[in-house]
Amino acid sequence: MNYKHHWLTGEPVNLPVGKAVCVGRNYAAHISELNNPSPDEPVLFIKPATAMHDMMQPIPLPRGRGTVHHEVEVCLLIGQRLTCADADQARQAVIAVGLGLDLTLRDVQSWQKERGLPWEVAKAFDGSCPISGFVPIRQIGRLNNLAFSLSVNGQQRQQGNTAQMLTKIPELLSFTSQHFSLLPGDIVMTGTPAGVGPVSPGDQLELVMAAVMAIQTQCV
Ligand code: ZN
């Protein structure tokens, strides 16, 4: 897969498909809806390259493993290596922005959380990270005030704005790079706002980044 097919605007980018570093609990209203405690620092987890899925293709959902939840998130495409970067370096490494779904096997995750087990099976399975095309950062200009939303079968389920993030993008990337080097082609998923819920085969999804992109796709 590459990212060049579905740009709504801008130039293609040819980069290897890397990992996605995801942040949990970065929007207060989402923390409340899952009765999670507010973290002292970002909660990070990783989806491997095998989790990536081109969102313009139908999204296959796992079967027989309980509820699959949607989590719409702004995702950042990294263009240069970040290791122990400061916030300025981190901001400059973001070359493009898209929308992604952090698909989550919620029943499995709840079971794991109750037992203090890691989340990989619930979060990092094959196809768990459907990703849109990317819009170059210079065409967006601002990262700290991006409104985005997800509708399922015509009903809006999630709505957020990057201004509501508990840890803002430069600081989030800087923190991430203290733990995991980010490489060109890696993605950072910046957390989901409130309204997560189940998706089923046949559901029609619409993901919107205000004034930037609108994507329609479906679950199968
Ligand atoms: Zn998420």
Q: Tens digit of pLDDT for each residue in 12-22?
A: 567 888 999 99
Domains and CATH numbers, the chain: 20-218 (3.90.850.10)
Query: What band does 139 get if pLDDT is binned at 50, 70 and 90?
Result: confident
Which CA distances in Å does 162 have to 46, 73, 98, 145, 206?
20, 9, 13, 5, 19
From the CA of 122, how far away is ligand 1's center (Å)? 11
Q: Are 149 and 75 in contact (CB under 8 A)?
A: no
From the CA of 84, how far away is ligand 1's center (Å)? 23
Q: Tens digit of pLDDT for each residue in 102-118?
A: 999 999 999 999 999 99
Q: Tens digit of pLDDT for each residue in 152-180?
A: 999 999 999 999 999 999 999 999 999 99
pLDDT reading at 7 higher than 50: no
Query: What band does 3 get if pLDDT is binned at 50, 70 and 90?
Result: very low
pLDDT reading at 60 higher than 60: yes
From the CA of 6, how far away is ligand 1's center (Å)? 23
pLDDT reading at 2 higher than 90: no
Which CA distances in Å does 99 have to 32, 58, 103, 149?
23, 16, 13, 10
For the whole model, what pTM was predicted? 0.91
